A and B are shown apart, each in its own frame.
Chain A
Amino acid sequence: MNANILEVTGLEKHFGGVYVTCNVNFAMQEGEQSAIIGPNGAGKSTFMNLLTGYHRPDAGKVVFAGEDITGLPPHKVVRRGISRAFQVSSIFNRMTVRENVRAAVQAQMRATFRLFASASRLGAEEAGRMLALCGLEGKSELIAGELAQGDKKRLELAIALAGRPRLLFLDEPTAGMSIDEARTTMELVDRLNRELKLTVLFTEHDMGIVFNHARKLTLLHRGEIILQGTPEEVRANATAQKVYLGEHHL
């Protein structure tokens, strides 16, 4: 029986009277790889913020692997196996690439209160593995803040993966990347999804990426879910076209 790893019911969020998330019901099965799409301002990032505890929902419930995590702060959500990569790379600028990933690994190992252990040894293997996986071992001693944009995004992903999550949220993972870089990144995501049974939810604007890498799409518009289905179903749907292209009829 395929249990739902994530169940969201009746999720709502408003900022000063403006509803940015409106009665959203959403579910994901373990091992699924889906995308959320929608025009700018549809509420995609807010949705991820709500699921990861960065914002508190005004109503609704978020259940992860059977546990109610509604309203928990980010660090508690992350500890339960959800990880997130940000749209604009959010890394530790003054530390080296290796130290970045190592810190993530040590956090996942719950070792961050170890005052007398050696930081360079604890979790070193795992950090090395993550670096290799994301193609960063040649750059491991560089200062994170000095990396090129594409590398920063890869580091972003490496940090998110180092937490060994069961569920991974990617906010526009290929933004700012070249076509080749985007392809490499998404192939990596596919591989992780296949081999580690990692459940992945990503937001994207590039429809090519979406159709090639997502098995299920959810279309968000003004905070509400308009449509859900396979890429082909959504592509063929008239409402979807209207939402994306305005009032132009095809």
Chain B
Amino acid sequence: MSENAKPRGPWSRLYDAFGVSGPVTLALLAASLGVPWLPGEFWTHVGTEVLILGLFAMSFNLLYGYMGQISFGHAAFFGVGAYATAMLFTALKTAEGQIGMADFLLSLLAGPPVAALAALVVGFFCVRLTGIYFAILTLAFGELLFYIVFSWYSFTKGDDGIQGLLPPPFFQDSTNFYYFTLAIVAAAAALMWRITESPFGYALRTLRDNQRRAAFLGTSVRAHMLANFVIAGAFAGVAGALWGPFSRSVNPGLLGWGESGIAVFMTLIGGGGSFIGPMLGSVIYTMLQAVVKMYTVYWPLTIGTIILMIVLFAPGGILGMIDQRIRRWRGAGRAPAEEAETAAPATEPRR
């Protein structure tokens, strides 16, 4: 094993323990605490959006980075969570549109379990297949759920969406709502970290790397995939639950494949092979979108080209590239054989 002559500094030790996600998470956390100090409400608002969508993208990454499957219908659970919260919210609020703190929190609690239930039903069918068939099936289910919400006017108000989700006065202040969101997202992320570093999390990685071999270890592929699908759906539901009060309304588009695409893009930009990659991707994507849309209407062209470049030249995303550099620089844990350029495993960060 390689010996590093100089003593390991704190950043190094952080990297050893938590992979590239360690330092990056700390940096993001520090930055996020300071966001409301920036002038005006704009950045606080953007920051809240970044956090919510970042959690959504991280939930997607449970399926993609950790289990190796790509789902084009994950937004369905984000949207279902949003609608569950929105509908309970609407039922609990007064005729004038006010809602008490307790009722508000209660409505938030509705999102994740309903999303998890939807994920259980959809997942039951989807986990029977993998690869391309899984991708198409999740797309089909996502669109199906979208159409149900879109058409069932009497229940969901269809295309009109549900409006008037005004939080209690305390949370109408965007700084308060921001820190509230930060607290929830941080707690959810901590829970997610726990899960990904558990035996279950590593079992998922075996499904990603070699499904056949995983079966020959004694792991039941379908059961584990379904469990992960439900967990990912539940976390998406948490993000969805926060979205309604944040944007004051929900609409069927939240379930569509466009929204699913956002999670995919964020994960790809930040790096699907690391825990915090999707959140970093959310920061970059959201800010990029805000800036680009100020200058041009050709946002799809921009993001499409970026995705193209990433897929071709940096499939591990930004954290993938950084991790590759760090590992090469340290020379740690590499067998004498291949050059880093071509070896596929080297593009993926370890955590």
Tell me if chains A and B make direct contact, with any CB pair below 8 A.
Answer: yes
How far is the CB of B22 from the nearest CB of chain A, in Å?
Answer: 15
Q: Type the 1/0 row for A93-130, where 1 means its CB is closer than 8 Å to any CB of B.
A: 11110010011101110111111111110110000000
**Chain B residues in 8 Å Cβ range of A187:** none
CB A127 to nearest CB in B, in angstroms, measures 11
- In the assembled complex, the Cα of A79 lies from the Cα of B335 at a distance in Å of 33
What is the CB-to-nearest-CB distance from A75 to chain B, in angstroms, rounded to a whole number? 5
Contact of A159 with B by CB under 8 A: yes
Residue tally, chain B, CB below 8 Å to A: 38
Q: Which of A26-34, A38-46, A58-66, A137-145 contacts B (4 or more CB under 8 A)?
A: A137-145
Question: Complex: how many Å from CA A85 to CA B200?
Answer: 23
In the complex, what residues of A have CB within 8 A of residue B294's CB? none
Q: Are B197 and A119 in contact (CB under 8 A)?
A: yes
CB of A96 within 8 A of CB of B333, answer yes
A120-B213 in contact given A75-B219, A112-B219, A142-B333 (Cβ < 8 Å): no
B348 on the interface (CB 8 Å rule)?
yes
Tell me whether A106 and B203 are in contact (CB under 8 A). Answer: yes
B301 within 8 A of A: no
Q: Any chain A CB within 8 A of the CB of B169? A: no
Which among B250-258, B280-288, B336-344 touches the partner chain? B336-344
Residues A103 and B345 in contact in the complex (CB < 8 Å), given A75-B216, A108-B218, A142-B334? no
**B187 in contact (CB, < 8 A):** no
Contact indicator per residue, chain A 137-163, by CB within 8 Å of chain B (1) or not (0): 011011101111001000000010001
Nearest CB on A from B186, distance (A)? 18
Q: Given that A142-B334, A147-B335, A148-B337 are known contacts, is A114 also in contact with B210, CB under 8 Å in the complex?
A: no
Asked if B198 and A90 make an inter-chain contact with CB atoms under 8 angstroms apart, the answer reads: no
Q: Which residues of B have CB within 8 Å of A104?
A: 217
Chain A contacts for B332, CB-based, 8 A: 141
Least Cβ distance of B209 to chain A in Å? 4
Q: Would you list which residues of chain B between 191 and 217 have a CB under 8 Å from chain A?
A: 194-195, 197-203, 205-206, 208-210, 212-217
A75-B215 contact in complex given A93-B210, A142-B335, A146-B335, C-beta closer than 8 Å: yes
